[in-house]
């Protein structure tokens, strides 16, 4: 089964590029930028990765990305992920980036996106991995800052396929960003957002995302299972869910494998992704393997998960069909 998973053509739709920053690269970038890190070694840094919920993870995640300063830093970050993706037979990826996590500490938007974009072009040519960028807003910042970031992105619109919403969900419902999403839609961006697993108001947040905002996808979203009306809505609209089993195991009490199985049985377009693989110790192949281990998925079921992913990509129909 391990060989089958390794060989399966894959598609990754829920991947934070800043969450792919491995300790080795963190040390290399810190040295290049003349920065000191509070860890003596890669091992010591990895040992400090202990989280049991979303906020405790986010603290380590934002601290870690402070070493990203220059255009080549963002290029190297994205190239490292895309090399790993190629090794795992990921053929196509839609990659989140968090511009505000960088602009808020003085790194220009232009620096971030140019580095990422250059890596995507090189990976397509050199590695045969195609990828597009999704710009995420940080939901624990004010909606006005998200709107300003959206406006700042417009000269680079051709390089960004859609928008997302991430960071700390507590007290930051989808409706807070209704105007930002409306403007993004007018600008031609496709729409997704995190509805993280087992949040205080998961059901209400998913309802707002789908009914009020009109998202094209939901990131995570496993909690729709608690409300038949949401399941019916997702099925009727063909909305895909980007699930992340290993990540779930870090920030909640389990991988939510049974929930993922149930979603598959209901015919929901559920997909398997790695979220923040440098922190959650698993890229997409390891996520598929962990889920397979728990659920004894058949080859056909594993292949269906990847077909779901290619089907809900934000590629034009003819390019989707080339993968299916």
| Numbered residues of the known binding site | 14, 16, 194, 275-276
Phi, psi of 95 (to 5 degrees): -110, 125
Phi, psi of 75 (to 5 degrees): -60, -50
Select the residue interacting with ligand ADE from 10, 26, 130, 194 (CB under 6 A). Answer: 194
Taking CA 192 as the corner, what is the angle to CA 292 and CA 315, rounded to the nearest 5 degrees? 80
Do the bridges between strand 130-138 and strand 160-166 make them parallel or antiparallel, or are there none, so unpaired? parallel
What, of ligand ADE, Zn ion, none, does residue 19 touch, CB below 5 to 8 Å by kind?
A: ligand ADE
Positions 66 through 105 that interact with ligand ADE (CB under 6 A): none
Q: Compare residues 71 and 275 and give the one whose CB is closer to Zn ion.
A: 275
Element (H, E) at 191: strand 190-191
Q: Closest separation between CB of residue 318 and Zn ion, Å?
A: 29
The verdict on 98 binding Zn ion (CB under 5 A) reads: no
What, of ligand ADE, Zn ion, none, does residue 196 touch, CB below 5 to 8 Å by kind?
A: ligand ADE
Rounded-to-integer distance, Cα 174 and Cα 158, Å: 25
Select the residue interacting with ligand ADE from 22, 76, 166, 306 (CB under 6 A). Answer: 166
Select the residue interacting with Zn ion from 275, 284, 292, 309 (CB under 5 A). Answer: 275
Instruction: Detail the residues annotated as belonging to a binding site for substrate.
Output: 276
The verdict on 247 binding ligand ADE (CB under 6 A) reads: yes
Q: Closest separation between CB of residue 166 and ligand ADE, Å?
A: 3
Cα Rg, the chain, nearest whole Å: 18
What, of Zn ion, ligand ADE, none, does residue 221 touch, CB below 5 to 8 Å by kind?
A: none
Q: Closest separation between CB of residue 138 and ligand ADE, Å?
A: 8
3-state secondary structure of 44: helix
The verdict on 73 binding Zn ion (CB under 5 A) reads: no
Rounded-to-integer distance, Cα 68 and Cα 223, Å: 34
* Residues ≥6 apart with Cβ < 8 Å to 31: none
Cβ(3)–Cβ(260) under 8 Å?
Answer: no
* Residues ≥6 apart with Cβ < 8 Å to 158: none
> Taking contact as CB under 5 A, which single stretch among the options 33-41, 157-165, 183-191, 274-282 is the one that binds Zn ion?
274-282
The verdict on 16 binding ligand ADE (CB under 6 A) reads: yes
Cβ(66)–Cβ(29) under 8 Å?
Answer: no
Q: Closest separation between CB of residue 41 and Zn ion, Å?
A: 28
Distances (CA, A) of 144 to 24, 147, 178, 238, 288: 36, 5, 11, 31, 38
The token pair that represents 88 in the structure block: 């795992």
The verdict on 276 binding ligand ADE (CB under 6 A) reads: yes
Q: Compare residues 27 and 51 and give the one whose CB is closer to ligand ADE.
A: 51
Binding footprint of ligand ADE on the chain (CB under 6 A): 16, 19, 54, 61, 166-167, 194, 196, 247, 275-276
Binding footprint of Zn ion on the chain (CB under 5 A): 275
């Amino acid at each position: 089964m391990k060989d089958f998973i390794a060989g399966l053509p894959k598609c990754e739709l829920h991947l934070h590029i800043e969450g792919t920053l491995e300790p080795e690269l963190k040390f290399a970038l810190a040295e290049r930028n003349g920065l000191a890190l509070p860890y003596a070694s890669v091992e010591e840094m990895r040992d400090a990765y202990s989280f049991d919920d979303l906020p405790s993870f986010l603290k380590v995640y934002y601290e870690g990305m402070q070493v990203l300063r220059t255009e080549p830093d963002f290029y190297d970050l994205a190239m490292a992920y895309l090399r790993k993706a190629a090794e795992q037979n990921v053929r196509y990826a839609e990659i989140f980036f968090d511009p505000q996590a960088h602009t808020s500490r003085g790194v220009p938007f232009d620096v971030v996106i140019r580095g990422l974009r250059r890596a995507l072009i090189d990976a397509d040519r050199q590695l045969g991995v195609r990828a597009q960028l999704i710009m995420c807003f940080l939901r624990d910042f004010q909606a006005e800052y998200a709107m300003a970031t959206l406006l700042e992105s417009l000269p680079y619109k051709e390089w960004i396929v859609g928008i997302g919403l991430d960071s700390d969900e507590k007290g930051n419902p989808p409706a807070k960003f209704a105007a930002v999403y409306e403007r993004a839609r007018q600008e031609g961006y496709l729409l997704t957002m995190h509805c993280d697993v087992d949040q205080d108001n998961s059901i209400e947040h998913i309802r707002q995302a789908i009914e009020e905002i009109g998202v094209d996808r939901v990131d995570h979203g496993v909690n729709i299972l608690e409300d038949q009306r949401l399941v019916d809505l997702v099925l009727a609209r063909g909305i895909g869910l980007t699930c992340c089993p290993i990540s779930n195991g870090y920030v909640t009490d389990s991988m939510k494998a049974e929930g993922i199985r149930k979603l598959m049985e209901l015919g929901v377009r559920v997909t398997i992704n790695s979220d923040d693989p440098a922190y959650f110790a698993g890229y997409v192949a390891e996520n598929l393997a962990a889920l397979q281990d728990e659920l004894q998925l058949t080859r056909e079921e594993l292949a269906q998960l990847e077909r779901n992913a290619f089907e809900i990509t934000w590629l034009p129909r003819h390019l989707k069909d080339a993968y299916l």
